[in-house]
Structure 1
């Protein structure tokens, strides 16, 4: 661990997308809560690149952000692949200097452009305890890991995963670190407040539709197209269309009808989850983890491009009976009318789905991962005791 009397140096590498940044910040928050119980405290530093969302999100949460050169890893063999070794060598050299300056005792990586240079830099430096290399902890969010974490897992002291069965060496199922506003959410207790906040009725079955921060065209079309059938069945809808999708509109419902509320973006996902009985959404790793942690069942519509990771993310929840899965090409207004309207109008079926979703959730994943990180850094014994 750190030099006598000094803080434990924890470096978190997780820039690029929200899927990497959100669990990184949730872990940072969990570590910060532990700092007073660790001799010397904990110094937390996040690594990112100048072009990622972390340049806005990390400082906004009050954490120190240091920038390193990005090293994009092409998914397919291209001419750009030939440039990777040179970029990687430079990024590793620069990152190693940062780890030295920060006195890093452990490096925690979440995958992506930032993680690979951090993993290699940690392995190549000498820690303050004169051991060779700084220990690495890998956290993989998706059921199908990316290249950076596949490499990192080979040199890591511990490997934590969100989805059971993720194919990484020595993987431990820990879950997805989540914001406490989500992980501690009591949906029934907040339901009335949440529905009032969105202009929804207090007692109607409620469908939440969202496609990530930018919205999803197929979800928007299908949901808006079945608005009349939903309303006729007494189902109200909270629909986040995405800030650029202003063409997605639904006529105002008549007085006494179930509301259909369309918003550009949901600033308070905790309230959106509390308001809803069922979600229609994509199956990104953070989304799936949040929904199961709060016990909100969902109809998952995996993104139809990429390597199929979203479908794999959703399967543990679906297989446990906490949701259903529909392929993007099969989603339509008719599918919603046939499958979701009957479910939303049957309270006992909804309750069963919610219970099964909650059984899969891991609301304390941030604390579990913090235990691992401090143990690897030498600042805590097994079980997380400082």
Structure 2
């Protein structure tokens, strides 16, 4: 059954290319998935599961098209789906679908939702829960995104040349946001898994793009810590207190192997090297601080600067990090100041700062973690 998510995206992508009908493509893919769930446990998994699913979806699409007033050329294309050379076209379809779902004409969250629903086959209810909206509201959001693609005549293709260079960062940003939605303290872990799956897919389809491989490496290295990030009662465990033997060392090895053969050309490669700086034997904070210096030069966002302060505080002493915090306000800055102040030995001041940060923490698990640090001090 592990073929189902990947096959769903293949089927949808191919039928959209052939019919231009997003809803028909999704309906046929869903019917193929339902048929597999019903028949495979009873009859056994076929030798070519992906081909079986595509055939069922194709036959369903042909039935629907025959009953509609669709032009005969479209019907013939679907009916002749498996002619020689078509498999390469099917692989290209998946890349087309990803770039269409991630088109910059759509709002960023709409791109994430549409990618999850159309490429990944994630149920609308699950997407709605992570975005904190009702299922009906998410259905409307996804429908509007599809309508905009049709009305704006957004082309179903992968850009080339300069256009590809301009568009690829937007596609990677969608996957990055999707991973973050799964990796955050109160996130949905399955979304991080889906981001890794899609990053693998994109890496296979675009092997010459170093930032694509770097993004996959970053995801693998970050997600390798997932089993050590919570204690027995579900509370967050800070990185420096995690049991690193519980990290997924196979994912770490895969991520580092990707980095070894990937040149540093952009922010995802730098972030992956930062993640790789945390090893089983400890964290190489001087190396991490150096990478953050590089990242801050090309991506000088507040969050990068705050994380750079943490790295410098651990690499060169808490006063170095506190100096970099000057001028920053709000929850993350206060929490970081509390940690570095505790490291500097001012326990009372640190406890007050942890309680101050807890009062404005964005999630309950973070609030509990901050109050626990205050209680320790």
Higher helix share: 2
Q: What TM-score comes out, normalization by structure 2 length? A: 0.28
TM-score when normalising by structure 1 = 0.27
Higher relative contact order (CA 8 A, sep 6+): 1
